[in-house]
Structure 1
Amino acid sequence: MEASTLMRDQQKIQQLRDLSVLMDSKFQGPFGFKFGLDGILGLIPFVGDFTTSAVSIYIIIAAAKMGCSPAVLVRMGLNIVVENLADMFPALGNIFDFFWRANNKNIILLDQHMLNPRAATFRSRLTLVLVVLSLIGILVASIAFTVFIFKQILEWISLFSS
C-alpha cells in the first residue's frame, strides 16, 4: 500500500474513531458510566433514531471505501440492526442505546480489519455463521413449539367431542 494512501486511511480511521466516541462514549456520568450522543438523540422520537442510524451507516460506508471485507461490513451492519431492533421497544430501547455502543464496536472491527484483514474476515464469518445457525435454531424451536401446542389443542378438543 502506498504511504500516502496509508496516511489518508489512518487519518480517516481517526476521524471515524472520534465520531464513534462522540456518538457512544464521549461523556461521563455517575460512577464513571460513559455515554454519547446516540443515547441522548435516541430520546427524540423518529429524528433521533434516524440521525444516529445515518451516522452509523456513514461509518460502515467509510469502512467499505477503505476495503473492509463484506463479512466485516455485514457484521458491522448486524451491530446496527441489533441497536435498531432494541429501539423498537419504548424506554427499553433508549436504555439499550446507552449500553450497546454499536459505533464503538464497529470501529473495533475496522481496526481489527486494518491490522489483520484475513483474521478479521475469518472472525466475522464465524460470527455470522453462528448468528445464522442461532436464528435457524430459534425458527426450528418455534415451529416445534407451535406444532406441540397445536397437537395439545387438538387433543383437548377431542376430549370434549367424544
Structure 2
Amino acid sequence: MHESPHKPRAMGFDLPIGNDVLSARRRIEAMEQLLENSFSIPGVNYRIGLDSIVGLVPVVGDVVTAAMGMWLVWEAKNLGMPKWKLWRMTGNVALDTAVGAVPLIGDAADFMFRSTTRNLRIVKRHLDKHHPATRTIDG
C-alpha cells in the first residue's frame, strides 16, 4: 500500500497536515476521537478515550490532556473563529482540567464531562455555517 509522505497515519486513517479548513477540521475530529472515543468498555458499550485513561495519573495526566485540549483551541483560532467561541472552548478545557484534578471525583467526572466533544461541536457549527464545503457526514 502506497502512503503519501504528506499525510501521516494516525489511529488507522490519514491525518492531513495542510493549512486549509478541511485539513484542520479533520485534525480536530481526530483529536476528539483520540481523547474521547478511542476505546469501548467491554460489557457496557461505553466509549472512552485517552482523556479518561491518562486523567487517572495524578497531575501529569490532567496537564497532558489539558495541553491536548488547548491544541484544539489553537486550531480553532487558526480557523478564524470569534474570540468569544475561543473563550468558551478554553472554559470547557479549564473546567475539565479543574474537576479532573480532584482525586476520585475528578476521575469519575472525566467519564461524564467531555470537553473535547463539546469543543468539536462548537467548531463544527462554526465551520458548517462559514465553510459549508467542509461538512462531513456524521456516522
Q: TM-score, normalised by structure 1?
A: 0.65
Corresponding residue SS for 1:18: helix
Corresponding residue SS for 1:28: strand
Q: Quick check: which has more Rg, 1 or 2?
A: 1
Quote the residue 1:74 is aligned against.
87
Q: Note the C-alpha offset of 1:88.
A: 3.2
What per-residue deviation string (whole Å, max 9, x for no partner) do you get for residues 110-152 of structure 1? 01011225xxxxxxxxxxxxxxxxxxxxxxxxxxxxxxxxxxx
What per-residue deviation string (whole Å, max 9, x for no partner) do you get for residues 76-108 of structure 1? 111112212212321010111112111111011
Give % identity.
Answer: 24
Distance of 1:31 and 1:16 partners within structure 2: 27
Gaps of 5+ in 1: 1-6, 118-162
Quote the residue 2:3 is aligned against.
none
Distance of 2:34 and 2:101 partners within structure 1: 23
Structure 1 or 2: more strand by fraction: 2
Contact 2:62/2:101 (8 A) holds in 1? no
Distance of 2:123 and 2:23 partners within structure 1: 13
Residue in structure 1 matching 2:46, options 20, 33, 36? 33
Quote the residue 2:135 is aligned against.
none
Q: How many residues align?
A: 112
Structure 1 or 2: more helix by fraction: 1
1:51 matches 2:64: yes
Distance of 1:114 and 1:94 partners within structure 2: 32
Quote the residue 2:108 is aligned against.
95
Segments of 4+ in structure 1 off by > 3 A?
Answer: none
Quote the residue 2:78 is aligned against.
65
What per-residue deviation string (whole Å, max 9, x for no partner) do you get for residues 26-64 of structure 1? 211132111000010001112111110000000001100
Distance of 1:47 and 1:88 partners within structure 2: 10
Distance of 2:114 and 2:126 partners within structure 1: 19
Q: TM-score, normalised by structure 2?
A: 0.75
Distance of 1:114 and 1:67 partners within structure 2: 10
Quote the residue 1:130 is aligned against.
none
Distance of 1:43 and 1:23 partners within structure 2: 13
Matching residue's letter, 2:90: G
Q: 1:88 to 1:51 in 2, by over 3 A?
A: closer
Considering only aligned residues, what root-mean-square deviation do their CA atoms show, in Å?
1.7
Q: How does 1:1-162 map to 2 (within 5 A)?
A: 8-29=20-41, 30-116=43-129
Gaps of 5+ in 2: 1-18, 131-139
